[in-house]
Amino acid sequence: MRIPLPRTLRARLTAGLVVLLAVSCAAVGVAAVVELNGFLIRRLDEQLSEVGSRFPASLEHGGRLPDDHDGDEHGDTRRQAAGTFGARLLNGTVTNAAVVPTAGAETTDLTVDLAGADRHALAAVPVDGRAHTLHLSALDGYRVEATRGLDGDVLITGLPLEPVEAIVHRLELVAGIVFGVALALTGVAGAVWVRWSLRPLSRVAATATRVSELPLASGVVALPRRGSAADPRSEVGQMAGAFDRMLGHVEDALTKRHASEERLRSFAADASHELRTPVASVRGHAELALLHPGPTPPEVTRALERIAAESSRMGAMVDDLLLLARLDAGRPLEQLPVDLTRLVLDAVTDARAVGPGHRWTLELPEEPVTVTGDEHRLHQVLANLLTNARLHTPAGTQVTVSLETDGVTATLKVHDDGPGVPADIRPGVFERFTRADRRRSTDAAGTGAGLGLSIVAAVVEAHGGGLTLDSRPGATTFTVTLKAGGPDPGPA
């Protein structure tokens, strides 16, 4: 089972603090328990040396403790602590084993029944005058010391480890409780302290989150208020200060970029507006010259026709630039009920007349689809999409225009089975002056200036809709989504 690790910095610091404290407490507790246990064992060994072998030596004749407790021949228990163990071994065999009973015990029988393993354990105790730990099945743990008796036997004296173990266990319990409470309080206090210490970092994260949610692509951007009020001498304060300075630079750059965009939009709008008059004048003079009744050389006639055609195309380009400048400036469009079904019918009819070499197909719902918007601009969207399909696909291509609605959103799709949009221009297909690869065009003169799809994107965005492209060889689909609604203007 994998233990989940804390994710936040605050949780990790708090967890690390608690873990370090837990390790320190565990080290202190273990050291205290080991030292206390060793100290008590040494004291017990000293007591064992003071007791000597008097009690096991009195077991040579065995028997029961007499009523007068004189210990004359059945085991001398005088001045022996309760629980003192004694055993006599002769030739490696236990002949007698007894233990001093506690005060008020119901029986005065000192004899202890030893199992075979206990007898072997007693026989294995080295006779070196030092204390050893021995665990007997009948008496639990003892510290025993073996000495040689006067009769060539081995006398073993032992004192119980139970008092030592009880004190050590009590210390372990107390230390566990104290350390547990200390860890809990430290965890709470550490979490509060870490949270307080990282407040500037939390403010930086909150500011960064708000900045990431802002539309930074264009327009005026108002960055959140800064000022972390952190100690600049700390690492957190230094990071917060650097972040504030970075936001200041970003804000300056965005302000300069917006001013540059505004100047560019103003220039495009002014230039487009000023160009409309001379372009119209050139076109008018060319058409007037073509209407002159006198004889005109064919070369001059052809030149005047080209001047009229190019000035007409330049006028359309100027109108497109002016429209984009107005949309960029955020000028509101009309918000009237528009019968989108009728617009689709009209646009496809016009496209069929201009491009008879293509196969045009309509897929319309039974009921009219109504949206709220600018009818002229929406017609321009349809016309540009159909013109794009006609100019950039070969003759014989099938173009399918479908319209559907779910009552909330109206979806318009223009699909063709042409060669598809090249992958290298798909990311910027809706940007201005983006022109398709010549491999998708059969008429080099009709490739346009690359403003048609950018106008479609700008008009759809101004209507609060969406525009997507899905293209691969043999299938290209432009999808326009608009909010459905508005009163029904009548059947199409």
Listed ranges 1-15, 88-102, 131-145, 393-407; the one with the highest mean pLDDT: 393-407
- Quick one: pLDDT at residue 444? 36
Q: Report the alpha-carbon distance of residue 464 to residue 417 in Å, rounded.
A: 29
Q: Report the alpha-carbon distance of residue 458 to residue 226 in Å, rounded.
A: 34
- Quick one: pLDDT at residue 452? 80
Q: Decide if pLDDT at 55 tops 90.
A: no
pLDDT band at 67 (very low <50, low <70, confident <90, very high): very low
Q: What average pLDDT does the segment 35-39 reach?
A: 91
- Mean pLDDT, rounded, of the chain: 79
Q: Report the alpha-carbon distance of residue 16 to residue 3 in Å, rounded.
A: 15
Residue 81 DSSP SS3: coil
With 0-12 CB in 10 A as exposed, 13-18 as middle and 19+ as buried, what is 43? exposed
Sign, CA dihedral 195-197-198-202, equals positive
- The tens digit of pLDDT for each residue in 372-391 reads 988 988 998 999 999 988 98
Q: Which residue has the tokens 């708000």?
A: 210
pLDDT band at 117 (very low <50, low <70, confident <90, very high): confident
- The tens digit of pLDDT for each residue in 431-447 reads 877 765 444 443 433 34
Q: What average pLDDT does the segment 180-194 reach?
A: 88
- The tens digit of pLDDT for each residue in 150-165 reads 778 888 888 998 889 8
Q: What average pLDDT does the segment 1-29 reach?
A: 80
Q: Half-sphere exposure of residue 315, counting CA atoms within 13 Å on the CB side?
A: 15
Q: Report the alpha-carbon distance of residue 241 to residue 201 in Å, rounded.
A: 10
- Quick one: pLDDT at residue 442? 38
Compute how many other C-beta atoms are within 10 angstroms of the C-beta atom of residue 131. Answer: 22
Q: Which residue has the tokens 């291509």?
A: 397
Residue 348 CA from chain centroid, whole number: 49
With 0-12 CB in 10 A as exposed, 13-18 as middle and 19+ as buried, what is 315? middle
Distances (CA, A) of 330 to 179, 214, 362, 459: 67, 18, 33, 11
Name the residue among 450, 452, 370 with its Cα closest to residue 405: 370
Q: Report the alpha-carbon distance of residue 346 to residue 401 in Å, rounded.
A: 12
Pairing of strands 359-363, 398-405: parallel
Count, in order, helices (H) and strands (E) of the chain. Answer: 10, 12
Name the residue among 425, 427, 480 with its Cα closest to residue 458: 480
- The tens digit of pLDDT for each residue in 290-336 reads 777 777 778 878 887 888 888 777 777 777 777 777 776 667 778 88
Percent of the chain with pLDDT over 90: 16
- Quick one: pLDDT at residue 106? 56
Q: Report the alpha-carbon distance of residue 89 to residue 97 in Å, rounded.
A: 9
- Quick one: pLDDT at residue 60? 65
Any idea which of 31-40, 106-115, 308-317 has the lowest mean pLDDT?
A: 106-115
Q: Decide if pLDDT at 149 tops 60.
A: yes
Q: Report the alpha-carbon distance of residue 382 to residue 387 in Å, rounded.
A: 8
Q: Report the alpha-carbon distance of residue 58 to residue 100 in Å, rounded.
A: 12
pLDDT band at 116 (very low <50, low <70, confident <90, very high): confident
Q: Report the alpha-carbon distance of residue 375 to residue 334 in Å, rounded.
A: 8
Strands across the sheet containing 85-90: 93-99, 85-90, 154-160, 140-148, 131-136
Segment holding 154, helix H or strand E: strand 154-160
- The tens digit of pLDDT for each residue in 349-377 reads 999 998 899 999 999 888 888 999 889 88
- Quick one: pLDDT at residue 303? 83
**Residue 488 or residue 222, greater confidence:** 222
Q: Decide if pLDDT at 487 tops 50.
A: no
Q: Decide if pLDDT at 103 tops 70.
A: no
Q: What average pLDDT does the segment 61-66 reach?
A: 44
pLDDT band at 221 (very low <50, low <70, confident <90, very high): low
Q: Report the alpha-carbon distance of residue 399 to residue 419 in Å, rounded.
A: 12
Segment holding 208, helix H or strand E: helix 199-212
Q: Report the alpha-carbon distance of residue 173 to residue 51 in Å, rounded.
A: 32
Q: What average pLDDT does the segment 258-275 reach?
A: 68
pTM, two decimals, is 0.48
Any idea which of 69-73, 83-87, 174-178, 400-404 has the lowest mean pLDDT?
A: 69-73
Phi, psi of 336 (to 5 degrees): -125, 160
User: What structural domains and CATH numbers belong to the chain?
Assistant: 1-50+161-197 (no CATH), 52-160 (3.30.450), 216-331 (1.10.287), 336-483 (3.30.565.10)
Q: What average pLDDT does the segment 6-15 reach?
A: 77
